[in-house]
A and B are shown apart, each in its own frame.
Chain A
Amino acid sequence: MMKTTTEKILNIMLVLTWIAFIGLMVEAGIILVSYVITCIKPEITKNLYLGAELSKLMQLGFWNYSIKVYFMFSLLGMKAFIAFLVIKTLSKVNLANPFTANVSQRIALIGYVLLATWFVSLLNHIHANWLLKQMGQPEVDYAAVEFLFIAGLVFIISQIFKRGVELQAENELTV
């Protein structure tokens, strides 16, 4: 009973993660295509996806616009990569013997990618604040700590999982 409920929850999570992954990939693709088009024809920036914000950015210079698009694309790419890792983990997990070295390593990798996402998010924020300063607007206080917090949590879970792998190996070698 318990196992089937967990299986159902994990299957639902797998479907949701697939949706999130596809959504993030589509969004990243749209931003990249919009950027390429605006590089060719800068005047149509305002008509493209998220054009309202990006056309204002374009006024601050092509490089600032490029950096902003780069940050947006990297953050979406990293989130999509995390979703991809979660999909791989969820599709490989076997509830009879869930503690495998493969799953443990993947959870640790998710933690590291989340840490990298926090760093990129922080850089994006620093750049955004610099742009606000250039425009003479007040700076926003935001340090993307949620990514750091989640990265820490996932890292702790990966360490507990690592111990689970050892315990399962010990259990399998008990006769």
Chain B
Amino acid sequence: MPITVNLDVMMAKRKMSLNELSGKVDLTLANLSILKTGKAKAIRFSTLEAICKALDCQPGDLLEYTSE
């Protein structure tokens, strides 16, 4: 898919673990893992908002478009 989720990069920048983020955004570890590994088909605005708030970043920092 040409959309890449850079969640792991942002988590590394903020030095935040998956468990910590899971607690902050109220998402299960399984769902966060789906997002982190790029298996997700879609992301809700509410989820994006919560992650941006927890990691103090913009949606553009998490999502990246690359032409195939």
Interface residues of A in 153-175 (CB under 8 A from B): 169-170, 173-175
CB distance from A164 to the nearest CB of B (A): 15
Interface residues of B in 1-57 (CB under 8 A from A): 27, 31-32, 34-35, 39-44, 47
Of all chain B residues, the one with the shortest Cβ separation from A169 is B41
Which B residues lie within 8 Å of A173 (CB)? 34, 39-42
B44 touches A174 (CB 8 A): yes
Of all chain A residues, the one with the shortest Cβ separation from B36 is A175
Of all chain B residues, the one with the shortest Cβ separation from A175 is B31
Of all chain A residues, the one with the shortest Cβ separation from B5 is A175
Selected from A169, A170, A174, A175, the residue in CB contact (under 8 A) with B32 is A175
Of all chain A residues, the one with the shortest Cβ separation from B30 is A175
Tally the A-B contacts, defined by beta carbons under 8 Å.
23
Of all chain B residues, the one with the shortest Cβ separation from A170 is B41
CB distance from A172 to the nearest CB of B (A): 9
Which A residues lie within 8 Å of B34 (CB)? 173, 175
Of all chain A residues, the one with the shortest Cβ separation from B42 is A174
Query: Could you say which of A169, A173, A174, A175 has the most chain B C-beta atoms within 10 Å of its C-beta?
Result: A175
Of all chain A residues, the one with the shortest Cβ separation from B27 is A175
Which A residues lie within 8 Å of B47 (CB)? 175
A79 to B31, CA, bound (A): 44
Binding site for B on A (CB under 8 A): 169-170, 173-175
Binding site for A on B (CB under 8 A): 27, 31-32, 34-35, 39-44, 47
Leading 10 A-B pairs by shortest Cβ distance:
A173-B41, A174-B42, A175-B31, A170-B41, A175-B35, A175-B40, A175-B47, A173-B40, A175-B43, A175-B34
The 20 listed contacts between A and B (C-beta, < 8 Å) are A169-B41, A170-B41, A173-B34, A173-B39, A173-B40, A173-B41, A173-B42, A174-B40, A174-B41, A174-B42, A174-B43, A174-B44, A175-B27, A175-B31, A175-B32, A175-B34, A175-B40, A175-B42, A175-B43, A175-B47
